[in-house]
Structure 1
Amino acid sequence: MKKIYVKLLFVCSLLLIIGCFRYQEALTWLDFQYQVKQQEKIVQVQTSNQVISIPLEEYLIGVIAGEMPVSFEKEALKAQAVASRTFVLSRNLKVDNTTNSQVYLNEDQMKENWGKQYEQNKKKIEEAIQETKGKVMTYQGKYISALFFSSSNGKTVNSEDYFTGEVAYLKAVDSHWDTSIDPHNIRKKTFTKKQLADIFNVVPEDIRVTSHTSSGYVQQVTINQKTYTGREIREKLSLPSSCFQIEFSSNGYTFITRGNGHGVGMSQYGAQAMALENNNYQDILHHYYQNIEIESIDS
């Protein structure tokens, strides 16, 4: 009987030792997976002459600094943090540092822009990022294309009215705040006939807006019977917005624009106005992106 007890004790001890090894292996495996997960959150940013690698949360500091006035309310900055984090994740962490993706400022550029306010401004942005750490927007389980822009004409634009294809969560919504809160919401830009002739390869004799989107942005323009989209006119003439009127005078053609940006997704000035009305960042995001979920990638 004593031999049986000894054998049982030996077997139990052996199992305990093996279990400890396996437990340690499990911890090592989990730690490895965590490290892999962290390593995956490295953003590859294409600059004019090189690709730089930046940890995601650090990258967001430079993006918010480049994309939104640091004077904006904390909740607006937090909404921008979640939108920018989602945007870069939806593009598999590979972006450039222009408005084609998201403007990114490095440390030196932030110091140059902010001067003596550098430490204070950076801390404010870091707090907005930390308070939304890991938060992203999804639609049907996938990261959304979290488009944003500066200000609208009072209403945002359906995705299909500016870009190609309908996107369920990028639908036109009210953004009436923009027309009063954005100090540069209305702008004017004048072109002579010769300047337009050089751009369109034809002397303009008849320019007119022929249709608008449901949000009041220009849908089509004809120049001497040739049709262009509002987006094409905006891009060819470098206009702030595709919401414009055209006035003819002895000086040439004046394009009077409302808003700044493509108009799809979140209005940054609208986000600021909503924050001033005591809305939190979730309220802002749910207003501008329809039927989305706000989730955490770190959970």
Structure 2
Amino acid sequence: MKRSILPILLFCLLTFCLPLVSLLPQAAGQAASSVSLAAGSAGEQSTSASPVPESAAVSQAAQSTPPAETPAPAQAVIRVQNASTGEVLEVPVLEYMIGAVASEMPITWPDEALKAQGIAAHSYALYQRDHANTEALGGGWFSVDPARRQGYMTTEVLQSYWGEEYEANYQRLKTLLEPLVHTVLLYDGAPAAACYHAISNGRTEASQRVWNEALPYLQGVDSPLDKLAEGYQETVSYTTQQMYDILATQFAGLDLSGSADGWFGETSLTEAGYVDTVQVGGAFVKGTQLRAALSLRSSCFTIQRTEDGFDVTTLGYGHGVGLSQCGAQAMAAQGQSCAQILSWYFPGTTLEEYAG
């Protein structure tokens, strides 16, 4: 009985367990498959998060690399023709102002006079840019002669001129003028013809008396301190023959056949006291023309007959229009600012920041 029951129990046990055993590999496979997918998902996330997309890489590189410096705008230049060589020089504004001031005023003069000269030189240059026949000057706005220290001096000329004092003198002018490179003397919003001369005769001349162009801010102002300037009065002597040669060469149609006592006659003066016309050999000659012919310091002159020839006495130095440099020096020594100096010599103008 027992033997007959045992096979039956064994059969029942096998019948129950075999289906369960058949399920084990499938469950393990499903578990393994599930782990594999999780790892794959994590791997994909890691892979996708690891390399930075190209656009993002560029963005991060831009953030990690310092931005490139914005290039400074091209510095404005003054175009001048070298009268000795014909070469046109393009000079940065500050360098031009320094070279112009150095050629026009002693470095020992007061700060405010030097500043007034620098602004006047820059303003005049811009006026010439707008009005001059630049084609005739090869593209230059006006002519200078650095080698002769006329109008502007180059760095090389300054180094030779100042010698051991070059660095100190250059730095002084740079300190004074650098803050003023955009400050221009304007009339009706445009650069003014801020011309200048060394010494007036005590009053500056009207522009139309020299250049046949009447500018409202160049009609002459009193400059009495000029009379105290060194070199205010000078006398030059000519022999009779020297005077004859000059007059006959420079002016056609003069009658110089008679006595030299009668060569010079009636003289008329401008409102400022400069010679307007003078009768020479029966003809009337402009005072500015006779000044040029005789190489006089000023067109404010008198002619005196002497035993051996002629004495010509001048008052002032230069054409007499605009800023008197010695007047500016005297005003600055009295405590006047460059703005006050410029407003006196150029009435109706304004000092403004100018980017034109």
Residues 1:105 and 2:153 aligned together: yes
Aligned counterpart, 1:246 = 303
Which residue identity is paired with 2:190?
A: K
Residue 44 of structure 1 pairs with residue 79 of structure 2 = yes
- Choose from 113, 130, 155 the match for 1:76: 113
Cα shift at 1:89: 1.2
Asked if the contact 1:111/1:118 (under 8 Å) is kept, the reply is yes
The correspondence of residues 38-187 of structure 1 with structure 2, limited to 5 A, is 38-39=74-75, 41-47=76-82, 48-49=84-85, 50-92=87-129, 94-98=141-145, 103-180=151-228, 182-187=229-234
Which amino acid counterpart does residue 320 of structure 2 have in structure 1? G
Partners of 1:110 and 1:117 in 2: CA distance: 10
1:166 aligned partner, one-letter code: A
Q: Where in structure 2 are there 5+ consecutive unaligned residues? A: 1-69, 130-139, 249-253
TM-superposed CA distance for 1:108, in Å, is 2.2
User: What's 2:43 paired with?
Assistant: none
The count of aligned residue pairs is 262
Check conservation: 2:93, 2:181, Cα contact below 8 A.
Answer: no
CA distance in 2, matches of 1:291, 1:53: 31
TM-score by length of 1: 0.83
- For the 8 Å contact 1:81–1:128, the answer to whether it is kept is no
Per-residue CA shift, 1:140-182, capped at 9, x if unaligned?
A: 11111111000011111111122202110101101000110x2
Deviation of 1:121 (Å): 1.4
Equivalent residues of 2:100, 2:121 under 8 A apart: yes
Higher helix share: 2
C-alpha RMSD of the superposition: 1.9
CA distance in structure 2 between the partners assigned to 1:148 and 1:219 by the alignment: 20
Give the C-alpha shift of residue 118 in structure 1: 1.5
Q: Is the 8 A contact 1:211 1:220 kept in 2?
A: yes
* Range with greater deviation from structure 2 (78-87 or 63-72): 63-72
Question: What is the rounded CA distance, in whole Å, between the counterparts of 2:165 and 2:193 in structure 1?
Answer: 32
Please say if residues 63 and 105 of structure 1, whose CA atoms lie closer than 8 Å, have aligned partners that are also in contact: yes
Counterpart Cα distance in 2 of 1:296 and 1:98: 29
- The answer as to whether partners of 1:178 and 1:269 remain within 8 angstroms in 2 is yes
Which of the residues 269, 285, 291 maps onto 2:348? 291
Conserved? CA contact 1:135–1:294, under 8 Å: yes
* Aligned-residue offset at 1:298: 4.7
- What code does the residue aligned with 2:177 have? I
Q: Distance in 1 between matches of 2:265 and 2:110?
A: 40
Unaligned runs of 5+ in 1: 1-30
For the 8 Å contact 1:209–1:218, the answer to whether it is kept is no
Mapped partners of 1:140, 1:53: distance in 2: 27
C-alpha contact 2:200 2:316 (8 A) present in aligned 1: yes
2:235 to 173, 176, 188: 188
Map 1:199-278 to 2 at 5 A: 199-201=246-248, 203=256, 204=260, 205-278=262-335
Structure number, greater radius of gyration: 2
1:281 aligns with 2:338: yes
Counterpart of 2:142 in structure 1: which amino acid? V
Match of 2:12 in 1: none
Report the Cα distance in structure 1 between the residues aligned to 2:172 and 2:304, rounded to whole angstroms: 43
Does the aligned pair in 2 maintain the 1:190–1:254 contact within 8 Å? yes
Output the CA distance in 1 between the equivalents of 2:323 and 2:193.
Answer: 11
